[in-house]
Amino acid sequence: MSRKHTDFLSFVLPGWLLPVSALVVAETAMRATGIQSDGLALPSRIAAALLDLVADGEIFLRSVETVAPIAIGVLTGGTLGLLIGVWLGLSTTAAQLAWLSIELFRPIPPVAIIPLTMLVYGIGIRMEAAIIGFACFWPMLLLTRDAVASVDVRLFEVARMLGLSRRRQIVRIALPAAAPRVFTALRLTLGIALIVAVTTEIAANPFGLGYAIISAGLSLRPDVMYAFLTWLAILGWLLNVGLTHLHRRLFGATAGEASS
Amino acid sequence: MNRASIRVAPVAAQACTNPAIAFDGVRLDLGQRRVIDGLSFDIAPGEFACVVGPSGCGKTTLLRLVSGLLAPNAGEVRRFGATVKGASRDVAIVFQDYGRALLPWRTAAGNIALALEAIGLSRRERTVRVGALLEKVGLAGHGDKYPAQLSGGMQQRVQIARCLAQEPRILLMDEPFGALDALTRQALQDEIARLVKDSGATTLFVTHDLDEAIYLGDRVFALEANPGRLADVIDVDLPRPRDQLVTREQPEFLRLRHVLFDHVQKAH
């Protein structure tokens, strides 16, 4: 237990060392030179702005405006991609039929459909969710397809010899075997969703963290802008830590880590 | 086909009963390669038949033909008189690569239960049956471990238990002990001989180990390669139950070993 504790400290300490010293150096250097710029802000000012945003709840409001379309987009686009991906992974005929369509649609940058979604939905959460859904659909579809297609044929032979029905082969063999890689796909997809959400908010949709960042920039408040950027970094980091932890909990014991 | 195919009357043959496994002029091509050509033989119900031969003689292919995972290009494969038309729950197969054949996300008990889920047994009944099977293969108390937590020998026991759960009439084994160390292999040889005898299943056992084939089999089929054909069949007239030391020291064992060894040498 105590060994684990020191391992934890020695792991975390060097990681914090660099950003914290960078902040201290920036603060002292900027105070010493008295530099004035619309693109810079004192770390202490940024921290104060962040505290203000937390205190009046604005940062949470903006976060909800960004997270809600991400949730809707990932749930719809991701689920659809997952289902079609499973289907294409199981059926070579379906995969052959679909590949050209996929290769034609997939390269379209999600932000390129902003004008289309504005025509259909106007501005607001639905428009943003639609773009995120489009962005999430393709990686989820392709990665799920590959995950299912690469399930060891031996497992399907076992299933056939045991007399499992096709439905049971999918539910009890194919899906659990592909699950770890599908989960990795989900992590990747959530990262993409965050990028697309903020991009959409900066470019077109006056809501959420992206719009807060560009508003702060345009109103010459670099401290507020940096505060929102810091908040985004923290959000992204928490998301990744949470998902990594969940991944280990779900698949750790069966991924061969528990051997010997 | 005029090739002299070797047909030997099965040891335990009774008049008028269909052979458990029958090959009748079977040919199989995989792509350009002729893997098996003009193969004919019968195996009687309850018989323990071993197949030996050099690599590339189609030993594994033979099992896949019996299991129905593969279909021949010519000739016929029959089980109990009926032409093989696909996989059947009457036929179980123990694969050599237990690491690939077990579901890594299921415990030992869960892997065995998979065979029972296919026939829709209730959870309670499954638990009882799985417990009995674990005990039978010497894994009592290991049911809640994952394959990655078990040794190679134990993983192979799990696979054997899963096959026995099917209560198969035909048990196919594809070099099941090839990847195990010598001591584990000997222990499992004795166990499989006992389990097969208890279950009464007809067994087709593929191995590259000549001693193992003689030690386990009622008959040993020697194949030659390119394309796979039947080269010879020897009857093993050694008393059962067999013993790792006594049986292997008997003059008859040594004589058969000599015959088979000469054969495989010639085939190379």
Alpha carbon of A36 to those of A24, A30, A223: distances in Å? 18, 9, 12
Compare CB distances from B105 to A154, A168, A176 and report the shortest one's residue.
A176
- Give residue B257's pLDDT band: very low, low, confident or very high (50, 70, 90): very high
d(CA B102, CA A154): 9
Domain boundaries, chain A: 1-33, 41-251
Confidence (pLDDT) at A3: 56
d(CA B73, CA B71): 7
- Chain B residues in contact with A164 by the CB 8 A cut-off are 114, 117-118
d(CA A231, CA B201): 67
Question: Residue B119 burial by CB count (10 A; 0-12/13-18/19+): exposed, middle or buried?
Answer: middle
| Final residue belonging to a domain, choices B140, B167, B194 | B167
d(CA B72, CA B136): 36
Q: Does residue A258 surpass a pLDDT of 50?
A: no
Q: Does residue A148 surpass a pLDDT of 90?
A: yes
Range 240-259 of A in CB contact (< 8 A) with B: 251, 253-259
With CA atoms as reference, the chain B residue closest to A158 would be B101
Confidence (pLDDT) at B66: 96
Is A173 in Cβ contact with B118 (below 8 Å)?
A: no
Average pLDDT value over all residues in chain A: 90
The answer on B179 and B68 residing in a single domain is yes
Q: Bigger pLDDT: A13 or A134?
A: A134
**Residues B227-256, mean pLDDT to the nearest whole number:** 92
For the domain that residue B80 is a member of, what is the CATH number?
3.40.50.300
Nearest residue to B199 (alpha-carbon basis) of B136, B116, B146 = B136
For residue B259, being part of any structural domain is answered with yes
Is B92 in Cβ contact with A161 (below 8 Å)?
A: yes
Is B104 in Cβ contact with A256 (below 8 Å)?
A: yes
Q: Bigger pLDDT: A254 or B170?
A: B170
For the entire predicted model, the pTM comes to: 0.81
Is B117 in Cβ contact with A161 (below 8 Å)?
A: no
Q: Return the percentage of chain B with pLDDT > 70, whole number.
A: 93
Is A164 in Cβ contact with B117 (below 8 Å)?
A: yes
- The structural architecture, per CATH, of the domain A41-251 is Orthogonal Bundle (1.10)
Q: Does residue B12 surpass a pLDDT of 60?
A: no
With CA atoms as reference, the chain B residue closest to A151 would be B100
Average pLDDT value over all residues in chain B: 90
- Give residue B53's pLDDT band: very low, low, confident or very high (50, 70, 90): confident
The answer on B190 and B228 residing in a single domain is yes
**Residues B27-34, mean pLDDT to the nearest whole number:** 91
Establish whether the linkage from the previous residue to A107 is cis, with ω within 30° of 0. Answer: no
Q: Bigger pLDDT: B61 or A1?
A: B61
Range of the domain at B245: 17-33+43-90+169-268
- Chain B residues in contact with A163 by the CB 8 A cut-off are 87-89, 118-119, 166
- Chain A residues in contact with B97 by the CB 8 A cut-off are 154
- Chain B residues in contact with A254 by the CB 8 A cut-off are 104-105, 146, 148
Q: Bigger pLDDT: A221 or B13?
A: A221
ipTM surpasses 0.95: no
- Give residue A76's pLDDT band: very low, low, confident or very high (50, 70, 90): very high
Chain A nearest-CA distance from B9, in A, is 29
The answer on B266 and B210 residing in a single domain is yes
Interface test with B, best of A150, A153, A162 (most B CBs within 10 A): A162
B14-45 core/surface letters (b: 16 or more CB in 10 A; e: else)? eeeeebbbbbbebbbeeeeebbbbbbbbbbbb
DSSP string covering B147-213: GGGS-HHHHHHHHHHHHHHT--SEEEEESTTTTS-HHHHHHHHHHHHHHHHHHT-EEEEE-S-HHHH
Confidence (pLDDT) at A35: 83
